[in-house]
Homo-oligomer: A and B are copies of this chain.
């Protein structure tokens, strides 16, 4: 099944490293066909090469739009070598076999990143390239297809090992990679066009992503896992510590999602099992961390701390007092890093470069995908309506919105208790809202020393279906509540709030998260 290469077609956007393969092609006396810039480059490097237009005896027309789309090229790529009829037709039509196709495309994502004009983006859609790659990949039994410069070294080794031939296994692997490439390329175009017409949910949808790294395993050791990105970088940089696990990544993203909703340079978030177990904003960084930790110091053990500010030595010393899996900062002072790096395993993450544009949320089950836009609504004043007789002060309202923002990152049903823009109790993941209230209150009573004049407020991710949850909160000392409206018992709840002199704010948005 080894196949000798007699003739190659080369047409590449990325012209680096060409010399390395030209050398080996020459060694095995492989003829080369090429066109345009690639032709010029090959000649410049001092190698023999025939122009496609001479080879096909057909001019390059329409400003390069039609060069290789010719039966002499496609016959050469697609003919089945051990098929007698094919061989006869090739002879009759004076077509030579092309055994190696080296084609790479101009990276389409670069155009999009550069925010080129639509016309220019369309002009850059490669027609000939993908056609040749697909043809060569289909005919991998006879043809080698190389679609990336990082495949050159293996090609050279393969040719040397097999004296100018290649093995079927090698060709088949390259064919698989070639279709990965054409599929990825068209998915970018497809998604670009969909986004242009704001068509979020087309009938046929593709997604594409680049492998960032294989992970040791998934949520559990018997699951295989990897992390991908639609760009080529995650936007977060690990600067120290053990390799990140699937669960680390999941927790890191949870924390960073909350971080986004806080005012920058002020907040600390502690996450465990993808749920926040303490969040605080405070002008004093140390206080912010201490308050977040105080919310549930037991759960924080082995958790993830995410600071939405640059970490200094003082914070680093505080962080080092407890066992943490991950510390995330928006940059680190040098002396802070020195302190943190004392812990060999501690994963230290710099989130400075993270861009907060999110792709749509995808949730998979069986063969189905639930796709939704993300819950990133920015609140305006109109989002809230004060429905109780007692009105909140500016400070209270700020505190309520803080807690409501945290709510949206807590698994439903979610109840967040807060004091001075710091959480003091979080209830999460319960099928009944009362149970979440109960958990939040218990946490508060366990870990906080609440004074009589402390103002405790509560936020709920969805409406209270009954008065019972609200009653439980008020009895626990909560004096202001924020919740989405929508229950048939809203009026009862307003009445209860007024009877107990509780501040009640209704939100227009709900924040379920499952």
Contact = CB atoms under 8 A, between A and B. Distances in A.
Interface of A: 58-59, 61-63, 65-66, 69-71, 73-75, 78-80, 83, 85-86, 89-90, 93, 122, 125, 127, 130-131, 134-135, 138, 140, 172-173, 175-177, 179-184, 186-187, 189-190, 193-194, 196-197, 199-212, 214, 218-231, 234-235, 246-247, 249-250, 253-254, 256-257, 272-275, 277, 296, 298-299, 303, 354-375, 377, 411-413, 428-432, 434-435, 439, 509-514
Contact of A273 (B359, B431, B510): B431
22 contacts: A61-B75, A66-B75, A69-B71, A125-B138, A127-B131, A130-B130, A134-B186, A176-B190, A176-B196, A180-B194, A182-B186, A183-B187, A201-B211, A205-B211, A205-B228, A219-B372, A219-B512, A220-B509, A225-B372, A235-B366, A359-B364, A428-B430
A222 B205 CA distance: 22
A296 B257 CA distance: 32
Contacts of A74: 65-66, 69, 127
By secondary structure, the A interface counts as: mixed
Contacts of A372: 218-219, 223-226, 246
A183 B204 CA distance: 9
A253 B66 contact: no
Of A222, A298, A373, chain B has the most CB atoms within 10 Å of the CB of: A222
Nearest to A61: B89
Given A204-B208, A514-B250, A375 B230 contact: no
Nearest to A147: B204
A299 B465 CA distance: 12
Nearest to A374: B223
Contacts of A196: 176
Contact of A223 (B138, B219, B375): B375
B75 A63 contact: no
Of A202, A214, A247, A298, chain B has the most CB atoms within 10 Å of the CB of: A202
A273 B413 contact: yes
Contacts of A512: 219-220, 247, 273
